[in-house]
Structure 1
């Protein structure tokens, strides 16, 4: 994963963005921020986002709508998302979030220790997954290049192919003819 991959924090409240940045700063990861769902989608589609911390309820495009869109686009469908909500446990929200493949749903105010643990695990796992994907692509290319460059073995006839008749050849052929008479 490129070194400029970052964790994108999305919330429409500046104080929440600041609190989340402060909680995650000790991890040493590059952090980005967005204040709306639209802005978050633009940044995610530009690439270089390895994890998204996303407020559920924002004016305009909600957090769930951002995740719905991300899951339909191949380049963004595997980015881990932690949804944040300040409205308490809601069974409908929980069901919808996990049905979309959200990694976790966290209640505000956020416990910084728990958040750091979740973020570290999800972000590092995603980075390892992308590194493995790159390695698989590289190995497939090497195999393809090796296969294309290797000489092709001679093709053997199919076992059901007709075998040509065997005729005696040379001096032996004349001797066989004389022996028969």
Structure 2
């Protein structure tokens, strides 16, 4: 996914949207907002969403309905989702949410420090995953092009088996040699 991916915050209460945006602003990520499940789905399907913070209970299309739909569509099924709820711990909600592959279920009021940590981890991990997928596709295309042209794909250069691998300071039997080299 390009670097212009954003975190989409979805809640039907304007004050909650503002509080979440304020909590996440120090991370420096692009933030988007939606006030309904329908609006969230439209933005997610347009692309460039790398993480969804989603209120569970909203009028019309609920947060769980949004997740159910996202998991059925190939382009959105792997976007990490953090569900937000103000109704306390609920075993049925937890079971349903995690069964749908939600990354986390967070109770309101939200601790900004904990939320930043979770968001940073989930967003960055998802971006790295997408970058690796892109690289794999490029490498497969390169191999396919070489194969169709009757060539063998280039092999990576490997060091000679007798090449000496440098040791790290304080590890292995060569520690004494490192100390001698410094004197």
**TM-score by structure 2 length?**
0.82
Name 2:47's counterpart in structure 1.
Answer: 47
Match runs of 1:43-122 below 5 Å: 43-122=43-122
Name 1:174's counterpart in structure 2.
Answer: none
CA distance in structure 1 between the partners assigned to 2:141 and 2:109 by the alignment = 48
1:4, distance to aligned residue in structure 2 (A): 1.7
Name 2:166's counterpart in structure 1.
Answer: none
Larger radius of gyration: 1
CA distance in structure 1 between the partners assigned to 2:95 and 2:11 by the alignment = 21
1:150, distance to aligned residue in structure 2 (A): 1.6
Name 1:26's counterpart in structure 2.
Answer: 26
CA distance in structure 2 between the partners assigned to 1:94 and 1:85 by the alignment = 10
CA distance in structure 2 between the partners assigned to 1:151 and 1:23 by the alignment = 54
Instruction: Give structure 1 regions of 4+ aligned residues with deviation exceeding 2 angstroms.
Output: none
Indicate yes or no: 2:3 matched with 1:3. Answer: yes
Cα offsets for 1:143-175 (capped at 9, x unmatched)? 0000011269xxxxxxxxxxxxxxxxxxxxxxx
**TM-score by structure 1 length?**
0.83
CA distance in structure 2 between the partners assigned to 1:3 and 1:120 by the alignment = 14
Cα offsets for 1:17-74 (capped at 9, x unmatched)? 0000000000000000000000000000000000000000000000000000000000
SS of the equivalent of 1:129 reads helix
Gaps of 5+ in 1: 153-181
CA distance in structure 2 between the partners assigned to 1:151 and 1:24 by the alignment = 50
CA distance in structure 2 between the partners assigned to 1:28 and 1:74 by the alignment = 28
Output the aligned Cα RMSD: 1.0
Indicate yes or no: 2:17 matched with 1:17. Answer: yes
CA distance in structure 1 between the partners assigned to 2:134 and 2:4 by the alignment = 17
1:2, distance to aligned residue in structure 2 (A): 1.0
